[in-house]
Amino acid sequence: MRIYCGTDIVLVKRMASNIAPKEDGSLPSFVTRCFTDKEIEYCMRSSNLDKRAESFAGRFATKEAVAKALGTGVMTMGIGFTDIETINDESGAPKVKLYGKARSKAQELKAVSISVSISHDGDYAVSYCTILSEDSEDEPV
């Protein structure tokens, strides 16, 4: 077994400026380029822009954390932002679904589970990801 991990932190204020609706009320291209329809629906539930920014920031940090755990980063090796989707289980805990090249990379790593955690405090949102893999190659410590 092997464990891969990644973490990321996002300034919520920066996210707020990236998600502010256009004058016509439509979403900025940043939102539609970086988030899936399900993520957008979840984050837009609140009418409060600060709460929306916090939700988007947490999901953005999760995309980055997962990509780091995969060893690729986002927007490299063909992995796009929407290839990593944050959803919630029945209890509200965050989970991820992988698509496209992100899914292929997880399969290449022989991933058996992916766990994520998102936290918000004041101006920041942080996410941590661990991937448990069946890979048994031992490397020197």
CATH number of the domain at 90, please.
3.90.470.20
**Phi and psi at residue 33, to the nearest 5°:** -80, -30
- The stretch 55-71 carries a mean pLDDT of 97
Range of the domain at 14: 2-133
Give domain status of residue 116, yes or no.
yes
- Vertex 127: Cα angle to 74 and 46 (nearest 5): 100
**Phi and psi at residue 12, to the nearest 5°:** -60, -40
Give domain status of residue 138, yes or no.
no
Give domain status of residue 141, yes or no.
no
Can you tell me the distance from the alpha carbon of 112 to that of 114, in angstroms, rounded to the nearest whole number?
7
Give domain status of residue 67, yes or no.
yes
Give domain status of residue 139, yes or no.
no
Q: What is the pTM of this model?
A: 0.92
| pLDDT above 80 (res 136) | no
Nearest partner of 41 among 90, 88, 7, judged by Cα: 88
Q: How many domains does the chain have?
A: 1
- The stretch 78-89 carries a mean pLDDT of 94
Give domain status of residue 112, yes or no.
yes
| pLDDT above 70 (res 135) | yes
Q: What is the pLDDT of residue 60?
A: 97
Give domain status of residue 140, yes or no.
no
In eight-state DSSP terms, residue 8 is: E
Q: Are 55 and 43 in contact (CB under 8 A)?
A: yes
Distance of CA 40 to the CA centre of its chain: 12
Q: What is the pLDDT of residue 130?
A: 98
Q: How confident is the model at residue 139 (pLDDT cuts 50, 70, 90)?
A: low
Give domain status of residue 34, yes or no.
yes
Q: How confident is the model at residue 76 (pLDDT cuts 50, 70, 90)?
A: confident
| pLDDT above 90 (res 44) | yes
